[in-house]
Structure 1
Amino acid sequence: MGRGRQKAKHTKIARELKSYSPAVNYSALERELAHPSDDQYVDKWADQYEDEYEEEKA
C-alpha cells in the first residue's frame, strides 16, 4: 500500500475516533464516585494471611 493510501486510511480512522462518543451510564458513574462506604476499606482477605510484623516478633 502506498504512503498516500496509508495516510488517507489513518486520517479516516482519526476522524472517526474524534467524533466517536460512547454511551455513558451516568447513574453508575455517580455511584462509583460518591462517598465510599466503610465496607470498601475492609480487607476481606486479611484473615487468610498472617501480619508481617507478627512474623518478625517470633
Structure 2
Amino acid sequence: MGRGRAKAKQTKVARDLKYRTFDPDFSDLQRELHGEDGEPIPDQYAELAERPDLADRFKDRDAS
C-alpha cells in the first residue's frame, strides 16, 4: 500500500512534460555547455587538451 499516491504524482508529472509547450533557447544552452567565447582552458585540463585523441574537443576553444 502507499504506491497509489506516488504513481499518481508520477503520472501527473509525465503528462505535464508530454503536453507542455515551451520554446527552448538552444543558443543559451550551447553557451552553457561550451563556456563563454575566449574562455581559456583551466590548467587542470590543459594536459587533456594536448592529448591527440581528445584535442579535437578543445580546438575550438584555443582562441587565446
The structure showing larger relative contact order (alpha-carbon pairs under 8 Å, at least 6 residues apart) is 2
Which protein is bigger by CA-based radius of gyration?
1
With normalisation by structure 1, the TM-score equals: 0.39
With normalisation by structure 2, the TM-score equals: 0.36
